[in-house]
Amino acid sequence: MCTYETEHVPISGSGKGPSGWFSLSAATVYFDHPVHAPAEHTLNVDFLNPEQGPSARVAVELDPASALALARAILAAVETAEAFTGTAAHQGPRGLSGEAQVSLSGA
C-alpha cells in the first residue's frame, strides 16, 4: 500500500555518506516500496542537503515496526535530554520547535 504522502522536514544535523560527513538541511519521509530492504513496503527516510547535490544523501528503509520503535526511542532520548539539561532540546538553531503533534500509539 503506497500512500503517496510525503513529509518534508527542515532539519539541522550531519550525515555520513561515501565521501564523508556533510551537513543536513532536510529530511523526506514516505511509505512506499523499498529499493533494497527485504519487505513489500517500508517507511523511507532520506536525510539530505539539496544544495550539495545528489551525493549529499543518506537513505534509510525501515519496516513499520522498526520505524515506530525508532520514533519512540528518539522521543524518549529527547525527553531525557530535556529533563537532564532543563532546556527544551527540541528548539534547535533553525527554530525547529517540535510543533507537529506525533501519535505513536501501537498499530
pLDDT digits (tens, 9 = 90+) for 43-102: 999 999 999 999 999 999 999 999 999 999 999 999 998 888 877 766 554 444 444 444
- Cα 9 to chain centroid distance, Å, stands at 8
Question: What pLDDT, on the 0 to 100 scale, is given for residue 102?
Answer: 46
- Residue 93: predicted pLDDT: 45
The three grid cell numbers given for residue 22, joined into one nine-digit string: 556533510
pLDDT interval class at 4 (50, 70, 90)? confident
The rounded percent of the chain whose pLDDT value lies above 90 is 67
Find the distance separating the first CA and the last CA of the chain, reported in whole Å. 15
Round to whole Å and give the CA distance between 73 and 52.
Answer: 30
Q: How big, in percent rounded to 5, are the helix, strand and coil portions of the chain?
A: 25, 35, 40
For the entire predicted model, the pTM comes to 0.76
